[in-house]
Amino acid sequence: DLDHSLEPARAIVGNVGDLMVDAIGELTPGTTVAAGIDYVVRTHPVTPLTYLYIVDEEKHLLGVVAMRDLLLARPGQILQDIMVPAPFVFAPDTILPEALKSALAKRHRVYPVVDSSNKLLGMVYSWRLFEYVATELSGQLGATVGLDREERSSTPIWRAFLMRHPWLQVNLLTAFVAAFVVGLFEDTIAQIVVLAVFLPVLAGQSGNTGCQALAITLRSLAVGELEEHSMTQLLRKEVVLGALNGFFVGLVAAAAMYFYSTMTGAADALTLALVVLIAMVGACIGSGLFGVLVPLTLRRFGADPAMASSIFLTTFTDILGMGLMLFLATSLLL
Amino acid sequence: DLDHSLEPARAIVGNVGDLMVDAIGELTPGTTVAAGIDYVVRTHPVTPLTYLYIVDEEKHLLGVVAMRDLLLARPGQILQDIMVPAPFVFAPDTILPEALKSALAKRHRVYPVVDSSNKLLGMVYSWRLFEYVATELSGQLGATVGLDREERSSTPIWRAFLMRHPWLQVNLLTAFVAAFVVGLFEDTIAQIVVLAVFLPVLAGQSGNTGCQALAITLRSLAVGELEEHSMTQLLRKEVVLGALNGFFVGLVAAAAMYFYSTMTGAADALTLALVVLIAMVGACIGSGLFGVLVPLTLRRFGADPAMASSIFLTTFTDILGMGLMLFLATSLLL
């Protein structure tokens, strides 16, 4: 059922633990400021220390001291007196969209990472978070059409071919399914050829409507915007939007069908126009639904929610758009 | 001609100047370390000073002093002696993809921005660069199908409708063009109905091949990877990839056409298979070409290269894929 795919957002695979490095600058709370400065001076090779981490004997994080506060303190003070207690920390399993949101709000240069008992495990630089997320996001568009996240414009042509081709064969297989559905109505098309002319219109509209829903779903997943509650809301919203968009686009398409049928002398122009309108509304509602469900389903199976999502989505929207029109025409006109 | 669209990459609109803030921490080279520390202490409200900027009377940037270096110096030294001269700087018109690349390499917290005569104009925080680029990239996928970069899953339904619907009507108009091309061959379809069954196959394959080329082009633009030289290389590469992918996918599709035609007793199964193969190769070559050219053309006209790019692209690929198959069938079989 749906419930399992409604867990908190995890578009970007990985968590803070994956980007964590060993902490530097661990000192005890009783250390004097003078000794602290001495520690900073003697750190070789010179590393860009931003904070000192104040820990007890069991490595529990008690507080942090910024370089600036060290500078402003009297040499005889102890670090416990000038540290910021209970600093902002990440857990190693904090998911990256959530960590990114915190980093944008806090704007620290580096964050301590602690376990559930507040033991210091390491630290994570904010630039690593940003770099990772930017890399993920720049791969999202390509991933929907089976483009490897690693491919660059400089990737050699044979490697690019081997990376892209398998997904094109998958796309072909899914296109055969859509073709099979169209094939079921060969007799209908033979009798009302104008329907063939409107096949690309139905496929194009439902595909684009679905891709809009897909894009907003992936965007929300990537920036950690979706929670269990709003996921259901998003589904409802995309269904309503699909109905609205399908209706107003369908009206124009129906008018076009009416004039085209009348001009080419096809029988029952008005019924054909109605078929196009109903098919468009139905197809766009389904497209909104699939646009949300395809990435959620991919994620549920542990896959990248963007990966080949557009290929799977257009299979559904092709079948729905073209199948519905041909089915309605067969039912109402033959 | 093409030359104008081959200027250096500018996918992400805007430059460093757009994200610049006033510099804080400007001091003269003759200031003593003690006076420098005094300046830091007296800065109210306490701002997270990372560097002191050492400037002459005309605000030319001579060097920077990190807080840590201030901490380690003797009080009587002057800032000129401990500053890092000729620090890394941005110009206000440095484009953002380029600034991002530098920021990922340098990993400073904040960068000075100077004019061409090295006068300090302000500074830009690295988190602003990352935030901006992440926002741009997270909008890229949606932008290709006419989804506004501002739309979130929380955007009210009527606002979402008004933002999305115009592009769906544009998509409908472009679909009519594709339908018109199919309509030119109505007689052909009436005589060889199996062609209608293969319309979605051609449209789907050329569309997906084109979207792969589109995605790699937009990705390269966004991360500042394309220069004049490699843009032409990318075009050549996508054309060759289109030919290769079209050939191997076309072979499978041709085999499917052969068996389907034989099964359903259509005449000239072998010629129909050949038609599918040639159409697929031609359509995929064209798709690779359009996938690169559509975003470059949008950019040339000053538009966001991603905006509605998929809508324009699939118009071309639809016409090319379906038109070529129907044209070849008409030429060779009727």
pLDDT tier at B133, thresholds 50, 70, 90: confident
Contact A147, B291 (CB under 8 A): no
What are the residues facing B122 on neighbouring strands?
B113
Inspect the interface and report whether the beta carbons of A130 and B127 lie closer than 8 Å: yes
Nearest to A164 among B168, B212, B223 (CB): B212
What are the residues facing A120 on neighbouring strands?
A114
pLDDT at B37 over 90: no
Looking at domain A182-333, what is its CATH homologous superfamily? SLC41 divalent cation transporters, integral membrane domain (1.10.357.20)
pLDDT tier at B3, thresholds 50, 70, 90: very low
Q: Which token pair is B94?
A: 């440095």
What is the rounded distance in angstroms from the CA atom of residue A232 to the CA atom of residue B220? 35
pLDDT at A68: 76
pLDDT, tens digit, 9 for 90 and up, residues B238-293 = 999 999 999 999 999 999 999 999 998 877 999 999 999 999 999 999 999 999 99
Closest CA–CA distance from residue A175 to any residue of chain B (Å): 5
Nearest to B182 among A196, A209, A211 (CB): A196
Strand order from edge to edge, sheet including A61-66 = A26-27, A51-55, A61-66, A84-85
Nearest to B152 among A152, A225, A311 (CB): A225
pLDDT at A38: 85
CATH 3.10.580.10 fits B2-130, yes or no: yes
Question: What residues of chain A lie within 8 A of the CB of B260, using their CB?
Answer: 183
pLDDT at B98: 83
Top-level class of domain B167-333? mainly alpha
CATH for A2-132, options being 3.40.50.300, 3.10.580.10, 1.10.1040.50, 1.20.58.100: 3.10.580.10
Nearest to A175 among B126, B205, B318 (CB): B205
What is the rounded distance in angstroms from the CA atom of residue A103 to the CA atom of residue A88? 10
pLDDT, tens digit, 9 for 90 and up, residues B38-69 = 888 777 555 667 789 999 999 999 999 987 78
What is the rounded distance in angstroms from the CA atom of residue B133 to the CA atom of residue B35? 39
In this prediction, the residues of chain A whose per-residue pLDDT falls under 50 are: 1-11
Question: What residues of chain A lie within 8 A of the CB of B100, using their CB?
Answer: 134
Question: What residues of chain B lie within 8 A of the CB of A253, using their CB?
Answer: 172
pLDDT tier at B316, thresholds 50, 70, 90: very high
What is the rounded distance in angstroms from the CA atom of residue B209 to the CA atom of residue B213? 7
List the single best residue of B39, B64, B101, B130 to mutate versus A (max A Cβ within 10 A): B130
- Higher-confidence residue: B92 or B48? B92
pLDDT at B5 over 50: no
Q: Give domain limits for chain B.
A: 2-130, 167-333
Residue of A nearest to B219 (CA): A138
What is the rounded distance in angstroms from the CA atom of residue B70 to the CA atom of residue B37? 7
- The size of the A-B interface in CB pairs under 8 A is 299
